[in-house]
């Protein structure tokens, strides 16, 4: 049996964004961070900004129409172009808007609904009606593989999809009330059955779980929000492999995570406005 990895985090940079409260984060291929949230002292305005890994502001992206809210963002690549997919809309009319990250312009996207269980990498987004969409890009079209209704989902904007040879695909999400009985569950996207679960304070391992991301090897990183630590979890079984407690995050509330593939870096959003990059060494 292969020994679990020994992961070491090394701080590479930290900076403060111009937003007053970050809602969602995601990472581009280049390692830039895209953050959405509210800014302004009076009459808060929803904004989306892009920063490079040094904290330099590169781009202000189109805002949402009045009356629509951010339910999560994720970057997707198709035909050598990068897009930002935003879950917006209302409880009765969920939408996924696309922004071309090169031009910074919204594009009209044709949404194609497909039969489920297609064997390919997909992205997951919370929709405004409470369901989760599994999708991928083909040209400038969003192809929805499946939508899943999860009654117990806690409303976190950080859901995660991983491919699994054993289960065909797993949707990872937070459950329950964050502060008392919040936990983490994995559902098979083929059977809609729970594969594993971790129950927060009962299991003495999660207190306000929020950000979820996966690395190049399929390991999950989960922000244990109010415990100021990050759990490394084997996605197929839910086994906790390691608990990371960087001294730089001591006493901080970890709210979101994102993964940069090249080089391997874990991006942590803590408190309301700060971003910190950690190099990941195995």
* Per-residue pLDDT of the chain in tens (282 residues, 90 and over written 9): 455 668 999 999 999 998 988 888 999 998 999 999 887 655 567 889 999 999 999 999 987 776 677 788 888 887 788 989 888 877 777 888 888 898 888 886 656 666 555 556 788 888 877 788 888 877 777 878 788 877 665 555 578 899 887 877 899 988 755 555 568 889 988 888 899 988 765 555 677 777 899 998 889 999 888 888 999 999 999 998 999 999 999 999 898 999 998 889 999 999 889 999 999 998
Q: Domain segments of the chain: what residues? A: 8-281
Cβ-proximal residues to 89 (8 Å cutoff; 6+ apart), any chain: 68, 71, 95, 127, 128, 129
pTM given for the model: 0.88
Helices (H) and strands (E) in the chain, counts: 0, 24
Q: How far is CA 201 from CA 157, 177, 178, 220, 253, in A?
A: 21, 11, 10, 19, 16
Which CATH number applies to 8-281? Answer: 2.120.10.30
Any bridge partners for residue 27, and if so which? 33
pLDDT of residue 52: 94
The sheet carrying 239-244 orders its strands as 209-214, 219-224, 229-234, 239-244
């Amino acid at each position: 049996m292969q020994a679990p990895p020994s992961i070491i985090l090394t701080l590479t940079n930290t900076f403060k964004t111009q937003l007053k409260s970050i809602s969602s984060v995601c990472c581009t291929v280049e390692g830039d961070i895209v953050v959405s949230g509210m800014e302004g002292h009076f009459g808060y305005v929803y904004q989306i900004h892009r920063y490079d890994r040094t904290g330099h502001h590169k781009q202000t992206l189109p805002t949402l129409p009045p009356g629509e809210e951010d339910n999560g963002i994720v970057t997707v690549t198709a035909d050598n172009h990068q897009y930002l997919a935003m879950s917006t809309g209302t409880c009765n009319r969920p939408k996924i808007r696309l922004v071309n990250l090169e031009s910074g312009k919204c594009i009209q996207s044709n949404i194609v609904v497909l039969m489920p269980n297609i064997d390919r990498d997909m992205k997951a987004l919370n929709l405004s009606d409470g369901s989760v969409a599994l999708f991928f890009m083909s040209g400038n079209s969003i192809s929805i593989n499946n939508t899943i209704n999860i009654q117990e989902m806690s409303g976190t904007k950080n859901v995660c999809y991983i491919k699994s040879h054993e289960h065909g695909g797993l949707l990872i999400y937070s459950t329950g009330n964050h502060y008392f009985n919040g936990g983490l569950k994995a559902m098979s996207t083929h059977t809609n059955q729970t594969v594993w679960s971790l129950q927060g304070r009962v299991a003495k391992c999660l207190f306000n779980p929020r950000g979820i991301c996966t690395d190049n090897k399929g390991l999950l990183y989960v922000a244990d929000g109010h415990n100021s630590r990050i759990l490394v979890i084997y996605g197929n079984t839910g086994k906790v492999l390691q608990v990371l407690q960087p001294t730089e995050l001591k006493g901080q509330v970890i709210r979101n995570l994102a993964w940069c593939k090249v080089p391997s870096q874990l991006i942590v959003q803590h408190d309301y406005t700060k971003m910190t990059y950690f190099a990941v060494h195995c």
